[in-house]
Amino acid sequence: MPTIRLDNLVKRYGAVEVLHGIDLSMEENEFTVLVGPSGCGKSTTLRMIAGLETVSDGEIYINDKPVSHLEPKERDLAMVFQDYALYPHMNVAKNMSFALRLERRPKAEIDQKVREVAEVLGLTPYLHRKPGELSGGQRQRVAMGRALTRDSATFLFDEPLSNLDAKLRGQMRAELALMRQRVHKNMIYVTHDQIEAMTLADRIVVMHGGYIQQQGTPEELFKRPVNKFVAGFLGTPPMNFLDADIVERDGTVWVTGKGFELALDGEHADAVRAHRAKQITVGIRPSDLSFDPDAANENSFELRVIVSEYIGAQSVLMCDCGGQQVVVELKSETPIPLGETLRFSVNPAGVHLFDKESENAI
């Protein structure tokens, strides 16, 4: 089984450089998710691995073999496209068996393979239908089926779920996670949806502006984001950011901003001292705030609740803190009066500090 390695991969369109030297290694059978906002270069990276885009500079290695000059078919991979890219004039069975038919495999073998995959994906009743006669979810499955019939070493997914409605997307996400357990292949998955990234990935690669911002397990990225971008991109509702100054009083390091003051615990305080930063940005996830009228002053804030969004078990509160917006996520049972100023305590482990200039984590 090959491992895939990108070595200083660069893509230029004319004079415009859209990927600035991507270095990335994927372990055997790893599910890697490239995630980032539109235009971050994630799809371009995937399409270069697939061989659909030329490589401007750098090299792609599959199993230590440079492949950037090879045609897609020589790279032993299968791909699922965002718009499914089914062949509209072929029925489902023909769509799924196209690659095998091109290889002139024996008919019995092809039939068997198609039946197997169709059974797994629940497509058996539709084998004789054309893509135009299928629903979005069914088409999505056919696209998946076409990739699975191939038995390639590597699977590439280019935003495969983004054309589905929310409910179906959740369902297909779960099915993908299931498939992941059965099929042991290298998988590279591109999405702009951080929930897909968090739920599916062994390794998340967060991209922005043609650079890799951070890579690691979902937990690493969620708990220890290296910069403000990654911190703000992963997690819903997104992390709150507040501008603050560092003040040291009586041996305690404080961050103070408009309308709040927090004492840092030992670990954070050491980091801030080592960094010698004066102006920083404090990041706190909405779930790391909790309503606590009796909290001590040094690790709590006063927030004025403006809007409460009830979303079932959880409620999301939009609050004001000295002119900056702070979002709090709470269990819906907690009764919160609108318009009041209340005290919320901060989970000390959930405090993230970023340099205000470079936006890197301290």
Partner 1 sequence: MQRATLNRMTPYAFMAPAAIVMVIALLYPLLYMVWGSFRDWNPAQTIGETEFVGFKNYITLFYDPAFRESLSVTLRFAVIVVSVEMVIGVGLALLLDRNIRGMSVLRTLFILPMMIAPVVVGLMWRYMYHPTVGTFNRWLKSIGLEGVDWLGQNALMSVIIADIWQWTPFIFILALAALQSLPRSALEAARIDGATPWQQIWHIKIPLMMPVLIVTCLLRLIDAFKVLEVILVMTEGGPGLSTEILALRISRTATEFRELGVAAAMSNYLLILLLILTAAMFAYTKIQEAREARIRAAAEEDM
Q: Binding to partner 1 by residue 105, rule CB under 8 A?
A: no
Of the pair 100, 280, the CB lying nearest partner 1 is at: 100
Q: Where in 132-151 is the site for partner 1 (CB under 8 A)?
A: 146, 150
Count, residues near partner 1 per rule CB under 8 A: 30
136-149 and 92-102 are packed helices; what angle lies between their axes, rounded to 10 degrees?
A: 20
Q: Binding to partner 1 by residue 37, rule CB under 8 A?
A: no
Q: Binding to partner 1 by residue 83, rule CB under 8 A?
A: yes
Task: For residue 217, give the 3-state DSSP assignment.
Answer: coil
Of the pair 94, 343, the CB lying nearest partner 1 is at: 94
What DSSP designation does 238 have? P
Of the pair 83, 298, the CB lying nearest partner 1 is at: 83
Beta bridge partners, 290, equal: 345
**DSSP codes of every residue in 264-288:** --HHHHHHHHHHT-SEEEEEE-GGG
Shortest CB 169 distance to partner 1, Å? 19
Of the pair 105, 224, the CB lying nearest partner 1 is at: 105
**DSSP codes of every residue in 124-152:** GGGTTS-GGGS-HHHHHHHHHHHHHHTT-
Q: Binding to partner 1 by residue 161, rule CB under 8 A?
A: no
Q: Binding to partner 1 by residue 115, rule CB under 8 A?
A: no
Of the pair 84, 189, the CB lying nearest partner 1 is at: 84
Q: Binding to partner 1 by residue 87, rule CB under 8 A?
A: yes
Helices of type H across 18-135: 42-50, 92-102, 107-121
Pairing between β-strand 16-26 and β-strand 4-13 as defined by DSSP bridges: antiparallel
Q: Binding to partner 1 by residue 86, rule CB under 8 A?
A: yes
Of the pair 124, 314, the CB lying nearest partner 1 is at: 124
Of the pair 107, 128, the CB lying nearest partner 1 is at: 128
Residue type, 302: E
Q: Binding to partner 1 by residue 73, rule CB under 8 A?
A: yes
Q: Binding to partner 1 by residue 16, rule CB under 8 A?
A: no
Shortest CB 161 distance to partner 1, Å? 16
Shortest CB 52 distance to partner 1, Å? 5
Q: Binding to partner 1 by residue 208, rule CB under 8 A?
A: no
Q: Binding to partner 1 by residue 119, rule CB under 8 A?
A: no
Shortest CB 108 distance to partner 1, Å? 18
CB-based burial label for 34 (10 Å; 0-12, 13-18, 19+) = buried
Of the pair 129, 223, the CB lying nearest partner 1 is at: 129
Angle at the Cα of 93 (from 87 to 97), degrees rounded to 5?
75
323 backbone φψ class: left, alpha, beta (φ>0; ψ -120 to 50)? left
CA distance 110 to 122: 18
Only one of the segments 98-106, 202-210, 228-236, 254-262 lies at the binding site for partner 1 (rule: CB under 8 A); that segment is 98-106
Structure-token pair, residue 346? 């901060």
Q: Binding to partner 1 by residue 109, rule CB under 8 A?
A: no
CA distance 336 to 342: 9
Q: Could you identify the residue written with the tokens 């949806």? A: 193
Task: For residue 92, give the 3-state DSSP assignment.
Answer: helix
- Binding residues for partner 1, rule: CB under 8 A, are 50-52, 71-73, 77-79, 81-89, 91, 98-99, 102-103, 124-125, 127-129, 146, 150
